[in-house]
Structures are given as C-alpha cells and as structure tokens.
Amino acid sequence: MLSMKDDGTLKKEICTIAAIIYEKGFVVATDGNVSARTADNCILITPSGQRAVTVEDIVKLDLDGTILGCKQNPSSEYRMHIEVYRRRTDVQGIIHTHPPYATAFAVAGIPLEPIIAEAVFANGKIPITPYATPSTEEVPKSISELIKNHGALLLAHHGLLTVGKDLLDALNRTERVEFLAHVSFLAKMLGNAVPLSPERIEKLMKLQK
Ligand SMILES: [Zn+2]
C-alpha cells in the first residue's frame, strides 16, 4: 500500500512529528529518527545528527538506500527503516525514539507486558530485539523477524521502534508504549505489577473484533 500524500505533505508531517517527540522528551539532543513511505515507494527520512529539522532537510531514499537528491545525509539508522518498509507493505510511517521508561525496560531486558487493559489491543506484548550496535548493519538484522508481527519493538540497550499505517498511528504507538512502560515501572515499585489473566485478555481480544 503506497501513500496517497505527496512528498511535500509527508515532509511537513515528518517535521511536525520530529518536533513532537523532542518536546515530549522521547528523544534528547539530536537523537531519534522519523520516516514515511512515499507514493512512488521510496522513503523520506530525517537527516543525520540534526536537532531542528525543516522540510529542506528531509532526505529521500529508494528502498536500496540510494539517496535521491538532498544535500543532507540521511539518519544513521536509515537501514533499519528500509528493512521495515521491505518487510511490512502495510507500514507507511516509522518512528525511532529513546523514551526514558521504555528504554529502561530495554536496558533491564524486561519485555513490556500489557498490564493495562487498553494496552492489550493497542500493542500487546512488546518484545526486545537482540542487541545490535546502533547505526550498523546489525540493526536491520536484529529487527527483521520480530517486526513482522509487532507494531512496537524495544531495541536492547538502545530504545524504541514503532510503526504505523501513517505517522500519527506510529506516534500514538510511541506514546502508548512509553505510558505503559511508565505505569509498569510504578506498579513494580509498588511491588505488584499484576498481569491480566488469560480470560481477561481473551475477553478484551473479542471486544477488539
Ligand atoms: Zn537510537
């Protein structure tokens, strides 16, 4: 499925989302990256190592990673984004962030369980990918299998990856995962992060259908 939006519209959306993830503290400094699939099945992605992003800074790449005209270099994690677009034809937008609570779970090696009722159908369980050195070929390999069946992944000792049918969908996912991680952390501090029973989960899944 390709985007119905033109490149100009998608570039503006990417800039808006990049500003939001910074404002919300999901990334610090020049971290994180945002991309969208275009109508001609290429990708638009935020540039490497830049804090404030304007539409002129957005880099266009084909799905082989060839740069199609922009003075900036693409985000160092562009290989991870390309891997997702190749694996998931339904995905139109991708956001990579380092939200503190979700990243803490990724560091502790604890997958996020859907202990909040709404989290069951929002994202389900959020697994942790094997460790990969950021910005290398190891990263696309580490997400390749798990991304087929998940909309959100914790990247070990690194951060969070979310995908969506558009960028807003991916942003909603990012926020929900960080909220779940925050609540999970607090419940663990209270000494009782009670899992939802299989019966309750089944009932919620029926509701979703
Ligand atoms: Zn990162």
> Does 188 reside within a domain?
yes
Which pTM value belongs to this model? Answer: 0.95
Phi and psi at 168, nearest 5°, equal -65, -40
Q: Please enumerate in sequence order all residues whose Cβ is within 8 A of that of 71, keeping only pairs 6 or more positions apart, or say none.
A: none
Q: pLDDT tier at 99 (50, 70, 90 boundaries)?
A: very high
**Assigned domain for 2 exists:** no
With pLDDT > 90 as the criterion, what percentage of the chain qualifies? 85
Q: Which residues are catalytic?
A: 77
Tell me, yes or no, whether 43 lies in a domain.
Answer: yes
Residue 53 CB partners (closer than 8 Å, separation 6+): 14, 15, 18, 19, 46, 47
Mean pLDDT of the chain: 94
> Do the domain assignments include residue 1?
no
Q: Ligand 1 centre and the CA of 207: distance in Å?
A: 35
Whether 119 maps to a domain, the answer reads yes
Task: Identify the band that residue 51 occupies on the pLDDT scale cut at 50, 70 and 90.
Answer: confident
The pair of three-digit structure tokens given for residue 111, joined into one six-digit string? 């997958």
Helical ranges in 26-164 per DSSP H = 78-87, 100-108, 117-122, 138-143
Gap from CA of 86 to ligand 1 centroid (Å): 20
Q: What is the pLDDT of residue 207?
A: 85
Per-residue pLDDT, averaged over 101-116, amounts to 96
Return the pLDDT at 70: 75
CATH of the domain at 117: 3.40.225.10
Q: Where do the H-state alpha helices sit in the chain?
A: 7-23, 78-87, 100-108, 117-122, 138-143, 167-189, 198-208
- Its domain, for residue 15, covers 7-208
pLDDT value of residue 55: 95
54 in a structural domain: yes
Give yes or no for residue 38 having a pLDDT over 80. Answer: yes
94 closest CA partner among 25, 154, 134, 34: 34
Measured in Å, residue 143 CA sits from the centre of ligand 1 at 13
DSSP state of 137: T
Domain count, the chain: 1
Compute the distance from residue 11 Cα to the ligand 1 centre, in Å: 21
Confidence of residue 1 (pLDDT cuts 50, 70, 90): low
- Assign residue 31 a region (left: φ > 0; alpha: ψ between -120 and 50; beta: otherwise): beta
194 C-alpha to ligand 1 centroid (Å): 30
Q: Is the pLDDT of residue 2 over 80?
A: no
| Distance separating the N- and C-terminal Cα atoms of the chain | 23
Query: Quick one: pLDDT at residue 71?
Result: 81
Taking residues 181-187, report their average pLDDT. Answer: 97
Q: Write down the pLDDT at residue 208.
A: 79
Quick count: other Cβ atoms within 10 Å of Cβ 98? 19
Residue 179 has pLDDT above 90, yes or no: yes
pLDDT higher at 71 or 132: 132
Q: How high is the pLDDT of residue 153?
A: 98
Residue among 64, 88, 63 nearest 151 (CA): 88
Q: Is the pLDDT of residue 81 over 90?
A: yes
Contacts of 58 (CB under 8 A, 6+ apart): 11, 14, 15, 44, 45, 46, 47, 70
Q: How far is the CA of 2 from the centre of ligand 1 (A)?
A: 26
